[in-house]
Amino acid sequence: MLGEKPMAVTLDEARELVEASERSGTLFAVSQSRRYNAALAALRRLVEEHLGHPEMVSCWFYRAPHFGGFREEMDSPLVVDMAIHAFDVARWIVGSDPVSVYCEEHNPSWSWYRGAASATAVFELSGGEWFSYAGSWCSPGLETSWEGDWRVTSAAGTAKWDGASTPVAELESGTVLGVPDSTAPVGISGFLAEFVRALDGGPDPKGECHDNIKSLAMTLAAVRSAATGLRVPVTWA
């Protein structure tokens, strides 16, 4: 069974879907399609092969799309509809689970969104990593790519990716480029290819529900933190 992000509106609904997958023995995966990017995969390889254990991960996302429709009427359009991609990618880059988050949302005076179109969030992850996210959907001029602008740092050095060009790491030993696999399917095509392989006995796709619920939990916890002004735990079980 296939789904689209977010997995559900609430965590209770998401848990019911996970339980239904378990009871029926049916694969349920969510198309978190931005993980399927050859340059992003190259960034992840740089981290694994050259940086070791990163403790600091950050993503900046600044764009100014005029969607019209439901996004401009949502309470938390950036966090719920877009930042969830970055939250999901951060988990994938470092291979850790979310622990807690502090988030603040706001809406600039010139915003054409009803809800908060800008946000800053800081997550603690289970491996001792910290992930910071800052973004806006009403930031005209000098826009980032749709993938965001990433920076990953460990004691060995730093890897960077602007979401569009080739990722690069700077280490004590010199500079290393992350060469993308030009043959890898991207976006939804990549997800569907991995899903079909899973049906044929291959490994679970990246958006398998037991894993993807954690990205939903990060998103909902960020919204709750912004509403309460408190650092809150990220839970999904």
pLDDT in tens, 36-60: 899 999 999 999 999 999 999 999 9
Nearest to 160 by CA among 175, 138, 182, 172: 175
N residues, the chain? 237
CATH 3.30.360.10 for the 2-233 domain, yes or no: yes
Every domain of the chain and the residues it spans: 2-233
* Residue 209 contacts residue 7 (beta carbons within 8 Å): yes
What pLDDT is attached to residue 66?
97
Stretch 156-183: mean pLDDT: 94
| Interhelix angle 38-46/84-94, nearest 10 degrees | 40
Percentage of the chain beyond pLDDT 70 is 100
